[in-house]
Amino acid sequence: KILVQDRALYWKGISFPAGGVEDGESFMEAAIREVKEETGLTVWNLKFCGIAHWYNDITGDRHLVFHYKTGDFSGELLSETEEGKIFWVDIEKLPDLNLADGFIDRLPMFFEEKIVERFQVWNENGYNPDIKWF
């Protein structure tokens, strides 16, 4: 089973717990903190899985998402936060759920361990359908 969140605020739908990096925080520290805030669980031994990277070809803005996973955790799972409901699900049942847009495309980073970067261009006209995988 894997832990997912039915996100109610940003990037709505089923995905993994996520969040931003605060000043003075490393990416891994941010991941540990966000999991604690959104699930109630303390995690450790995080393994880096890859980066999802978006580039706005008009403004030059970039959006990076660093992906981590672990099977090491302790604590009591919250059932819900303002971010959404949290629950365990069998991996094979994921495609049957209301997934966040583009979430299923990132799963190979976590489970196949061959892909380390997803890159896509976007601007106010939308997303370029050409996604590059490395």
Question: Per-residue confidence of the chain (134 residues) as pLDDT tens digits?
Answer: 999 999 988 789 999 999 999 999 999 999 999 999 999 999 999 999 999 999 999 999 999 999 999 999 999 999 999 999 999 999 999 989 999 988 888 888 998 878 889 999 999 999 998 999 99
Helix (H) or strand (E) holding 38: helix 27-39
Look up the pTM and report it. 0.88
103: phi then psi, degrees, rounded to nearest 5: -60, -45
Torsion of CA 115, 46, 15, 90, to 10 degrees: 90
Pairing of strands 47-56, 117-123: parallel
Q: Rounded CA gap, 50 and 117, in Å?
A: 6
87 beta partners = 4
The kind and range of the H/E element at 103 are helix 103-111
Amino acid letter, 41: L
Give residue-wise pLDDT tens across range 46-74: 999 999 999 999 999 999 999 999 999 99
* H or E segment to which residue 33 belongs: helix 27-39
